Amino acid sequence: MAALLVCALRTVALAGTEMAITIDDLPAHGALPQGMQRMEIARRIISVLQARAVPGVYGFVNGAQVRDNPGYLEILKHWVQAGFHLGNHTFSHLDIDRVATAEYVADIEKNETFLTDFARDDSARVFRYPYLHEGRTPSQRTPVRQWLAGRRYRIAHVTVHFDDWAWNDAYARCVERSDERAIDDLKRSFMKAAMERFEWARAVSHTLFKRQIRHILLLHVGAFDALMLDELLRAYQNAGMTAVTLRAAMEDPAYTRYDDTWQGGMTFLLRVAHARRAAIPPAPTIPLERLNAVCR
């Protein structure tokens, strides 16, 4: 498998890659490092996205955060004023695998109502499943899919994901301890994971589609994401990435494949490989245990 990955990466090394940048869990995600404010994190992310000329960015919102922290409303206003879009991520960040279908649909609808004040025409009719879970069984999946289709929602899939969320809590702990060496290690491991998963996604796209589909990157609105975003986007651009809007990415014909083989929290490429029973290289591992232990 390692040899297969190397060969595939060599094949796509010079290939251009269009990719949409998306941010989950607005208006806030992860632990808040000592001395920082949520608005500061959001402003930094917005500033980098603008400086890097990233178009049509979607932030996927959980409205319950604003219910619990009314001051967070200013973050969403600032996001929209910057020219970016807001998508539906359920009101309460529910896991479809853990609640009744009716409760899940009601939570999406509640978030839809919340987002009405921010919507530009039908721009908010884009949905991302929390945890990338779509339901374990057809009886869970089908009613939600039908409801979303009936409300003219598009699904924001994910092809590039490296568990960026896992660095945010670790970073907050290391800031509290003023452990600069540990923070430097976090930066290196973050970039390593980001680039390995990006290269893996390009290799798998080439294997499955014989081309680079328009990829979709999942990040979170966390403090470490804000710290690393400029370096991350620069590295991606140096590796051949061109940022595109999420709407443009979703128009790629690859995403019209929407069968009933979804399992767990699979990204889109894993799902297609599973459906086709295709041989693909294993995804590079993420150091979750080490991240959970650092700065304890």
What tens digit of pLDDT does each residue of 95-108 get? 999 999 999 999 99
CA 240 to chain centre: 20
- Residue 163 in any domain: the answer is yes
Quote the domain boundaries for residue 262: 2-11+21-293
Kindly list the distances between the CA atom of residue 195 and the CA atoms of 168, 198, 252, 275, 288, in Å, as whole numbers in the listed order. Answer: 18, 5, 23, 26, 16
Report d(CA 11, CA 174) in Å as an integer.
Answer: 39
Buried b (16+ CB within 10 A) or exposed e, 60-74: bbbbbbbeeeeebbe
- Residue 52 in any domain: the answer is yes
- Residue 195 in any domain: the answer is yes
Domains in the chain, number: 1
- Residue 155 in any domain: the answer is yes
Instruction: Supply angle C-alpha 181, 184, 185, rounded to 5.
Output: 90
Contact assessment for residue 48 and residue 229, using Cβ atoms and an 8 Å cutoff: yes
pLDDT at 136: 87
Phi, psi of 69 (to 5 degrees): -140, 85
Number of H helices, E strands in the chain: 12, 7
What is the CATH number for 239? 3.20.20.370
Surface-to-core class of residue 164, CB atoms within 10 Å of its CB (0-12 exposed, 13-18 middle, 19+ buried): buried
pLDDT at 2: 47
Instruction: Supply angle C-alpha 42, 234, 28, rounded to 5.
Output: 15
Contact assessment for residue 143 and residue 105, using Cβ atoms and an 8 Å cutoff: yes
Kindly list the distances between the CA atom of residue 74 and the CA atoms of 42, 43, 125, in Å, as whole numbers in the listed order. Answer: 10, 11, 21
Tokens representing 285 are 């591992």
pLDDT at 197: 98
pLDDT at 264: 66
Weakly modelled stretches of the chain, pLDDT under 50: 1-6, 10-14
pLDDT at 260: 58
- Residue 16 in any domain: the answer is no
Residue 19: DSSP 8-state: E
| Torsion sign, CA atoms 251, 90, 225, 131 | negative
pLDDT at 117: 87
Cis peptide before 27 (omega within 30 of 0): yes
- Residue 200 in any domain: the answer is yes
- Residue 181 in any domain: the answer is yes
Report d(CA 100, CA 104) in Å as an integer.
Answer: 6
